């Protein structure tokens, strides 16, 4: 088989592979979308059943079913948010404030900004969320210096200027980095409802290894130049040398 023939075979194989991929990719995407639609429909059916159980006062059965939904849809944030809202609602309607707060705390661990649509859920649900948020979160701000990378417990959280409105209460290892500067590292504490503001943080320049020898060398050159200049000035302003003494008087005079 000639080299040219082999080349055409390779090109043909690549073209055929590309065509097959182009044909099957839309099919795969459509299947994924269909699967997601079926999951959403199944979850909606569960939620309708849960509402009916709530209305009948069968709170324990509603709670069991909601935990099944949470376990089944662990990877679907939208469904999980609704499930938590229903779960807090069940506890509120059952006059179980402690249970409602415990569920709200678990929900906010995963979704710190979680709220309930008050057209679907009682207003008390958002009141419980707000109460728990005040206990669980503080905020953190660094506006200056700009263009720094910020890490909390070795996790990148953003670049400055940076505002984190919902940071879990506790202690963190903070690291701030910027090109050309030494890293800033400190242990900070986030407190409930308070803002930890480190704006105006001072970073120390990171001198390269050759900076100190260059600086010392420049200083030495400057000192030598000044010394030479002073020495030359002294020679220029010194007094003229004294003349030789006259010859001695000849004998016999």
Residue 109 pLDDT > 80: yes
Highest mean pLDDT among 193-197, 231-235, 237-241: 193-197
> CB atoms < 10 A from the CB of 15, how many?
10
Give the closest residue to 133 by CA, choosing from 116, 111, 155, 152: 111
Residue 217 pLDDT > 60: no
What average pLDDT does the structure give for the chain? 82
91 in a structural domain? yes
At residue 228, the pLDDT reads 58
- How confident is residue 150, by pLDDT bands cut at 50, 70 and 90? very high
At residue 31, the pLDDT reads 45
At residue 206, the pLDDT reads 85
63 in a structural domain? yes
Of 12-26, 32-46, 107-121, 133-147, minimum mean pLDDT range: 12-26
**How many domains are contained in the chain?**
2
56 in a structural domain? yes
6-65, pLDDT tens digit by residue?
655 655 666 566 654 555 545 454 444 555 667 788 889 999 999 999 999 999 999 999
Write down the residue that tokens 């200027």 correspond to.
161
Structure tokens at 10: 């390779």
At residue 29, the pLDDT reads 47
Q: Where are the alpha helices (DSSP H) in the chain?
A: 3-55, 59-72, 77-93, 97-110, 123-136, 211-237
At residue 143, the pLDDT reads 93
Are residues 126 and 145 both part of a single domain?
no
Are residues 42 and 106 both part of a single domain?
yes
The domain of 184 spans: 138-197
Buried b / exposed e across 157-176, counting CB within 10 Å, b at 16+?
A: beebebebeebeeeebebbb
Are residues 155 and 168 both part of a single domain?
yes
Cβ-based neighbours of 101, under 8 Å, separated by 6 or more: 128, 131, 132
Give the closest residue to 66 by CA, choosing from 118, 108, 111, 103: 103
Say if strands 170-177 and 149-152 run parallel, antiparallel, or are unpaired.
antiparallel
What Cα–Cα distance (Å) separates residue 242 from each residue in 92, 173, 233, 245, 246? 114, 79, 20, 9, 12
At residue 239, the pLDDT reads 55
Are residues 175 and 118 both part of a single domain?
no
Among 147, 167, 197, give the residue marking a domain's end: 197
Are residues 40 and 130 both part of a single domain?
yes
71 in a structural domain? yes
236 in a structural domain? no
Among 95, 111, 135, give the residue marking a domain's end: 135
């Amino acid at each position: 088989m000639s080299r040219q023939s082999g080349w055409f075979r390779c090109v043909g194989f690549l073209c055929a592979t590309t065509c097959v991929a182009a044909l099957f990719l839309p099919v795969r995407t459509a299947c994924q979308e269909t699967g997601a639609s079926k999951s959403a429909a199944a979850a909606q059916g569960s939620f309708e059943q849960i509402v009916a159980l709530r209305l009948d006062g069968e709170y324990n059965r509603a709670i069991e079913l909601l935990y099944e939904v949470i376990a089944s849809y662990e990877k679907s944030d939208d469904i999980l948010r609704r499930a938590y809202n229903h779960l807090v609602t069940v506890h509120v309607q059952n006059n179980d404030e402690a249970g409602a707060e415990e569920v709200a705390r678990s929900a906010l661990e995963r979704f710190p900004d979680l709220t309930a649509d008050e057209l679907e859920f009682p207003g008390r649900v958002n009141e419980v969320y707000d109460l728990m948020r005040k206990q669980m979160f503080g905020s953190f701000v660094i506006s200056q210096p700009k263009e720094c990378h910020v890490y909390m417990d070795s996790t990148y959280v953003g670049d400055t200027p940076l505002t984190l409105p919902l940071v879990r209460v506790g202690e963190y290892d903070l690291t701030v980095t910027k090109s050309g500067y030494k890293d800033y590292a400190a242990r900070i504490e986030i407190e409930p409802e308070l803002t930890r503001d480190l704006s105006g943080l001072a970073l120390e320049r990171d001198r390269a290894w050759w900076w100190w020898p260059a600086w010392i060398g420049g200083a030495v050159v400057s000192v030598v130049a000044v010394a030479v200049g002073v020495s030359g000035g002294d020679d220029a302003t010194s007094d003229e040398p004294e003349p030789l003494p006259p010859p001695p008087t000849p004998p016999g005079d």
